[in-house]
Amino acid sequence: MAERFDVIVVGAGMAGNAAAYTLAKGGLKVLQIERGETPGSKNVQGAILYADAIEKIIPDFRDDAPLERHLIEQRVWVMDDASYMGTHYRSEDFNKPPYNRYTIIRVHFDQWFNKKAREAGVLTICETTVTDLLIEGGKVVGVRTDRQGGEIRADAVILADGANSRLAVKAGFQPEIKPENVALAVKEIHFLPQETIEARFNIGEDEGVVIEMAGKISAGMMGTGFLYTNKESITLGVGCMLSDFKEQKVTPYELLDRMKAHPSIAPLIAGSEMKEYAAHLIPEGGYHAIPQVYGEGWMIAGDAGQFVNGLHREGSNLAMTTGMLAAQTLIELKAAGKPFSAANLAGYKQKLDDSFVMKDLKKYRRMPEIFHKNKQFFTTYPDLLSKAAQTLIRVDGVDKKTKEKEIRKSFVASRSLFGLIADAFKFWRAVE
């Protein structure tokens, strides 16, 4: 392609579409390259959409975006092998427009988002793989694709090509992603009649529920499970660190099967038809795993930059925000007549630092290492909490003071007094 562009965006996921759309609306000439058959074709599974992030990019997105249900209830479960204990938060405030969070089906949403980008002026090419970045004199000047004569030039390239950005690694912009910094999540979509879903979760039409789970369902590995409601289906899955899967030699699908058989999960999906299954890498190394995100003529956005808040299970909002901020940086430089040099693209990093993205990731910077090294949070404590709850709730003629002593004794026997104090401090350090 002899044509030259202001910016080439690699990837048509959340970050790539946010960047491409924002750039085109800012008047820049944009080429977007996606290796899938269509935008979102690799993302068949459901997901959660955070309204605040997309609203900053497309304020009227609710008019025609393919949304499933708005979420009115959040549940958090800590699970052992046969039970769970946790918290629920349900509010009628979340049932009033404008709604805060939605469930979506990624393939539909990504196609809609990319259509908006194309309507804004983006040229999107699918079924095309970027094999290399073109680098001249230390500056990225375009890309090389797997198409014949596939060298395309641009003043800047935004890499939004997912958790395992081969382009960034190949160009030496970041090292190979470490197994302890990435989770492998598996998801299934189970189809049920709409009225069945609404009855089982005590919700009305278009209302939704999300359940986040931790504990024994991760089989002693650092990981979590999740379940949320779509209009006529339920998305559920589990993810653990890739390093733990390798160490324990448990397959992700075995873990998902155990989760579906849990007595608290099985009734929610009983009678459903499973039609879709997907596996996905999620960068969860946190703040300390974020690579250099800009350089001479290039920037990184979304999962490629490790922008995921693992504790709060937030990813799409960070992807869209980083894509938008990368685009805004280029728009401002173009308007000022300044080159896309590393010195000028440092403004992208400043925008990130000023945003919730880096502030939240910095807040939880210790979490990955602490939880990875202290698996008792996923094994011992779920058991102790469940037994404590059952001891207190069971009516068996034993007085409550004796029960409380029994509970304290079980905690000390399992972890020791010093261990309990140390674990409390570690947990506080992880989330403070």
Q: What angle do CA 36, 145, 161 make, to 5 degrees?
A: 50
**Helix ranges (DSSP H) in 84-205:** 106-119, 166-170, 194-200
Tokens for 369?
């290492």
Strands in 330-377 per DSSP E: none
Tokens for 174?
């970041």
DSSP per residue, 198-216: HHHTT--TTEEEEEEEEEG
Distance CA 301, CA 172 (A): 16
Q: What angle do CA 279, 207, 226 make, to 5 degrees?
A: 30
Cβ atoms 104, 66 nearer than 8 A = yes
Tell me the sheet residues that pair with 224.
239
3-state secondary structure of 220: coil
Token pair 């500056």 is at which residue? 139
Tokens for 114?
């990319």
> What pLDDT was estimated at residue 403?
97
Distance CA 75, CA 226 (A): 10
Question: Which pTM was predicted?
Answer: 0.95
DSSP per residue, 111-137: HHHHHHHHHTT-EEE-S--EEEEEEET
Cβ atoms 210, 228 nearer than 8 A = yes
User: Which pairs from 347-351 meet CB under 8 Å and 24+ separation?
Assistant: 348/293, 348/294, 348/299, 349/293, 349/294, 351/325
CATH code of the region 182-283: 3.30.9.90
Q: Which residues of the chain have pLDDT under 50?
A: none
Residues 6+ apart with CB under 8 A from 124: 12, 20, 31, 32, 33, 34, 39, 114, 117, 118
Per-domain boundaries in the chain: 5-66+105-175+291-354, 182-283, 368-431
Print burial letters for 93-107: b (CB count within 10 Å at least 16), e (below 16). Answer: ebbeeebebbbbbbb
Pairing assessment for the beta strands 151-159 and 139-145 based on DSSP bridges: antiparallel
Distance CA 116, CA 12 (A): 12
Cβ atoms 26, 120 nearer than 8 A = no
Exposed/middle/buried for residue 167 (C-beta within 10 Å: 0-12, 13-18, 19+): buried
> What pLDDT was estimated at residue 276?
84
Q: For 236, what's the count of Cα atoms within 13 Å in the CB-facing half-sphere?
A: 25
Cβ atoms 348, 341 nearer than 8 A = no
> What pLDDT was estimated at residue 278?
87
> What pLDDT was estimated at residue 164?
82
The CATH T-level fold of domain 5-66+105-175+291-354 is FAD/NAD(P)-binding domain (3.50.50)
